[in-house]
Chain A
Amino acid sequence: MQKMTNSELSQAIYALFGERIALSEELYDTLVIEVASTDAYEIIEQLKQDTALSFNFLTLLGGVHYPEMEARELCVVYHLHSWKNALRLRVKAYLPAEQPSIKSVTSLFETANWMERETYDFFGINFEGHPNLTRILNMDEMDYHPMLKQHPLEDATREDKDDRFFGR
C-alpha cells in the first residue's frame, strides 16, 4: 500500500528545496531528481531527517560515466527508500571528470561505506570525508579505474582470441 504518490513527493520536495532541484522526472515509476554535487549531501541529509518524507534507507549508491557530456562526465546516483511512505527516490549528482569529488554520506548512512569504496574503485570518484577510501573489489595493484569508458573491457594480455572471430 503506497501512502504517498510520486506527484505528492515531487510537490513536497519542491516545497522543501525549490531552486536547488535542477531537474526532476519520473522514470520507471520512480521519481528522479538532479542536484548540484556540492549540495547533494545536505539535500540527502534533509530528506532523511524530514519527518514527513523520512528517506531513512540508502538502497544503493553507484556511479555512471557519460564521456560525451562535457564537464559533467561522471554521475553519482543515490537510491533512497522511505519505509514510512513505501516510496523510492533517485538522486543524481554530476561531476566533472577532471576533479570528480563529492562529500561522503557515510556519516548519514553506514551502508554507504563499502558502496562509496566500490564507486571509487571503478570510477575514481573521490568521496571527501570517507573513513577509508581504498579499493574494495579490484586488486590493489591496479593503476586505473576500469569502468571509465576509455579503458577496454577485455583483458589486453589474452592471446588466443582472433579479431576476425571475436570482433574486437
Chain B
Amino acid sequence: MGKIEDLEVINGEGYQLTTLDKAVALARSNSVWPLPFATSCCGIEFMATMGSMYDLSRFGMERMSFTPRQSDLLIVAGTISKKLGPVLQKVYEQMAEPKWVLSVGACASSGGIFDTYSVLQGIDRIIPVDVYVPGCPPRPEQIIDGVMNIHRLVKHEPMRRRYSQEYRHLLSEYKIEVTNAENDK
C-alpha cells in the first residue's frame, strides 16, 4: 500500500523531496475509481468483492463510478457478445486518460466456454487490457489480486506514457484515436 516511505525520497529537516511523477502516481494508485462493466456471473463475484466481506473500499475504491467520464479503471466482468463489443469500445473511448482495464474471468479474457459465433473471443480484440484475472468465475481474492496488480501498474507508470508515440500506436491498433492536449499539438 502507498506510503511515502516507499518512494525514493530525500529527507531533510521538516521536509521530504521526491519527483512529481512518483508523488502523482502514488496518489493515483490509491484512489482508482472503477467502472464496473458486469454482464454475468463474474459480475456477481465482483459484487461480492465490493461488499463488506472483501471490501474493495480498503484500497481507495469506495466509489463505483457508473459513468465512464469519471472513472480510471474499466472492470469488464463477464461474457461480451459481438453485438455488445462496439458498446464496450465506446465506453472505453469515453473514459478520460489515464485509464486502465481489468479483464475479469475467462469469458472477458478469451471467450471462455462460449466458443460460438455470437460471442467476442476476448475483449482484447477491441480494447487494450492491462491485467487479466483467470477463473470461471474467479473468487473475490483473485479479483482483489488483479486490482492490486493494477495498482502496481498505476504506481510505476511514467507520467508521460500516455503522450508517447508508442501509446498512440498501441491504440491505433484497436482503431481508437488518442485525443489529449499533447497529441493534438
- Residues of A with Cβ closer than 8 Å to B? 137-139, 146, 151-155, 157-158, 160-161, 166
Knowing A158-B111, A158-B121, A160-B110, say if A153 contacts B83 (CB, 8 Å): no
In the bound assembly, the distance between CA atoms of A15 and B111 in angstroms comes to 54
Q: How far is the CB of A159 from chain B (nearest CB, A)?
A: 8
Decide: A138 and B83 in contact? CB cutoff 8 A.
yes
In the bound assembly, the distance between CA atoms of A48 and B111 in angstroms comes to 45
- Residues of B with Cβ closer than 8 Å to A? 82-83, 110-111, 115-119, 121
- Taking chain A's interface residues, is the majority helix, strand, or loop, or is none over half, making it mixed? loop
Residues from chain B with Cβ under 8 Å of A137 in the complex: 83, 118
Decide: A155 and B111 in contact? CB cutoff 8 A.
yes
In the bound assembly, the distance between CA atoms of A139 and B88 in angstroms comes to 14
Decide: B117 and A139 in contact? CB cutoff 8 A.
no
B84 (CB) vs chain A CBs: closest residue: A139
Residues from chain B with Cβ under 8 Å of A158 in the complex: 111, 115, 121
In the bound assembly, the distance between CA atoms of A166 and B111 in angstroms comes to 15
B85 (CB) vs chain A CBs: closest residue: A139
Contact of B118 among A146, A152, A157, A161 (CB under 8 A): A146
Decide: B110 and A151 in contact? CB cutoff 8 A.
no
Contact of A154 among B83, B110, B117 (CB under 8 A): B117
> Across chains A and B, which 7 residue pairs bring their CB atoms closest together, nearest first?
A139-B83, A158-B121, A154-B115, A146-B117, A155-B121, A139-B82, A155-B115
Q: How far is the CB of B114 from chain A (nearest CB, A)?
A: 8
In the bound assembly, the distance between CA atoms of A137 and B115 in angstroms comes to 17
In the bound assembly, the distance between CA atoms of A26 and B168 in angstroms comes to 65
Some 9 contacts from A to B, beta carbons below 8 A apart, are A137-B83, A138-B83, A139-B82, A146-B117, A153-B117, A154-B116, A155-B111, A155-B115, A155-B121
In the bound assembly, the distance between CA atoms of A81 and B179 in angstroms comes to 58
Residues from chain B with Cβ under 8 Å of A161 in the complex: 115
Decide: A155 and B83 in contact? CB cutoff 8 A.
no
Decide: A155 and B110 in contact? CB cutoff 8 A.
no
In the bound assembly, the distance between CA atoms of A166 and B119 in angstroms comes to 18
B118 (CB) vs chain A CBs: closest residue: A138
Residues from chain A with Cβ under 8 Å of B115 in the complex: 154-155, 158, 161, 166
